[in-house]
Amino acid sequence: MTKNQNKAGWHLQNSYAELPALFYSKMKLHPVSSPKLVKFNESLAKTLGLNAQALKEEGQIDILAGSQAPQHAEPLAQAYAGHQFGHFTMLGDGRALLIGEQITPDGDRFDVQLKGSGRTPYSRGGDGRAALGPMLREYMISEAMHALNIPTTRSLAVVTTGEPVFRETELEGAILTRIAASHLRVGTFQFAAQWGTIEELRTLADYAIERHYPEVASHESPYLSFLQEVMKRQASLIAKWQLVGFIHGVMNTDNMTISGETIDYGPCAFMDTYDPDTVFSSIDVNGRYAYGNQPYIGGWNLARLAESLIPLLDENEEKGLGIAQDTMSDYFEIFQGYWLSGMRSKLGLLDQEEGDSLLVDSLLDLMRKNEADFTNTFRALTIEKFEGMPLFETDQFKHWHEKWQERLTRQSRTQDEVFQLMKKHNPAIIPRNHRVEAALEAAVEQADYSVMENLLAALSNPYAYTKEQDDYCTLPPSTDGPYRTFCGT
């Protein structure tokens, strides 16, 4: 270990590399010609126990660029499978390396992954590299999600490589350092069930339990408890997405984590006009992953996890299948509980009444009919300023507003308590698509990162309701067609 590396605070372990060799391929690094640090997350570095200033030095930039490994790194590419738009296939880290797991000063463990670091055995003909724009996009959206209090992978740094990548055109190459509780996916378990032995599947499940759900290890049926806990976390996560209008865009089983974190920010975007049929991804031509479908797809993905675990749920396959089906039958009720609880908070309801679901559904129906902006509608309810949207001028909304006010009077809470609850759950600002595109254009086309920095600063506290955020609440100008996103590979 060099003095510079020691000063940076790397404290890596490699527990994933202790799994059977089936689950990964050990890799050599693919050095790049001229790495340059263009974005660095100082607050995240501090959380990880890393020295931000040292990480910005030349030798450390080589580490973030995948040209040099820190002490105790064991670079590897993870193997997994997945249902991509419903079709099962063998996958794996085709352009990423797990260099190790950073142990924080608090004793927490986080994967450190380099995304865009070069070819692996799972690249499937690709170059294993990434372009600057998509890596900056993931940085911005993942940090916005973190500020919205939604579980997510995070971004430590973006480094340009000094080398071009070729897609439809020549683009500037870049590498993102992604931080995750782990990169274990539903697809990891599908891979084990399809190509591994039962003992290898059990080893993977035991590893996931030890890493994410140690409390279930002593349960009478630990693998059933594991499935139930993953189901709860995923149901909670997707409910949080729905509550802020986030559309993931590519909810394949390889993009659904066991930890319950949001992962993969390729074609994702936030909804402006409320419409459950909203799709942004250019490749989702049938709307499989539309906003309104996300809860159902979450259940479908979890059913694939349950199928993979059948041999561990019971030695008798038929009994194991029955256990898996019984468990999955609870999913949507669990999701609805999280979602309705969140909606109550968005409307300032601190207790429960039987008619709350109808009150919420009535508002959403009015929002859809009047093409109301999702975020700004709830922002207006929070600050009680009803202007600028046709919705607020309708008799139907005024009638709904009276019912809502009557409902608020039936709870023994002060007006300030209601306001604070709503403010905490209704962001004043989201990463509007046109703002994200403007930031990316300035950074990629002009090497001007000021637009991105200003946007990130505003997004860092989305519940602040400051005057400085007002400009970021404005809607995008009218366009000839719908906004489209791309996977970025």
Contacts of 169 (CB under 8 A, 6+ apart): none
351 belongs to the catalytic site: no
Contacts of 8 (CB under 8 A, 6+ apart): 50, 51, 54, 55, 60, 63, 70
Count CB atoms within 10 A of the CB of residue 267. Answer: 23
Which stretch of 245-249, 339-343, 465-469 has the lowest confidence by average pLDDT?
Answer: 465-469
pLDDT over 90 at 134, yes or no: yes
192-200: long-range contacts, CB 8 A cutoff, minimum separation 24: 192/22, 192/23, 192/308, 193/307, 193/308, 193/309, 193/311, 194/81, 195/22, 195/81, 195/90, 196/20, 196/22, 198/311, 198/312, 200/20, 200/22, 200/23
pLDDT over 90 at 368, yes or no: yes
* C-alpha dihedral (449, 451, 453, 455), degrees to nearest 10: -150
pLDDT score recorded for residue 323: 98
Separation of alpha carbons 123 and 115, rounded Å: 12
Which stretch of 5-19, 65-79, 149-163 has the lowest confidence by average pLDDT?
Answer: 5-19
Separation of alpha carbons 489 and 389, rounded Å: 38
Separation of alpha carbons 61 and 231, rounded Å: 39
Report residue 283 as tokens.
């490749």
Arithmetic mean of pLDDT over the chain: 95
Give the sign of the dihedral formed by CA 121, CA 122, CA 126, CA 131: negative
- One DSSP character per residue, 9-62 reads T--EE-GGGGS-GGGEEE------SS-EEEEE-HHHHHHTT--HHHHTSHHHHH
pLDDT over 70 at 5, yes or no: no
pLDDT score recorded for residue 480: 56
Encoded amino acid at 477, one letter: P
In degrees and rounded to multiples of 5, residue 319 shows phi and psi of -65, -40
CA distances from 129 to 96, 115, 126, 485 (A): 8, 8, 8, 19
205-232, pLDDT tens digit by residue?
999 999 999 999 999 999 999 999 999 9
- Helix pair 222-244, 331-346: axis angle to 10 deg: 40
50-107, pLDDT tens digit by residue?
999 999 987 789 999 999 999 999 999 999 999 999 999 999 999 999 999 999 999 9
| Domain chopping of the chain, boundaries | 3-180, 340-425
Encoded amino acid at 394, one letter: T
- The one catalytic residue among 62, 111, 254, 264: 254
pTM of this prediction? 0.96
Report residue 354 as tokens.
């039987």
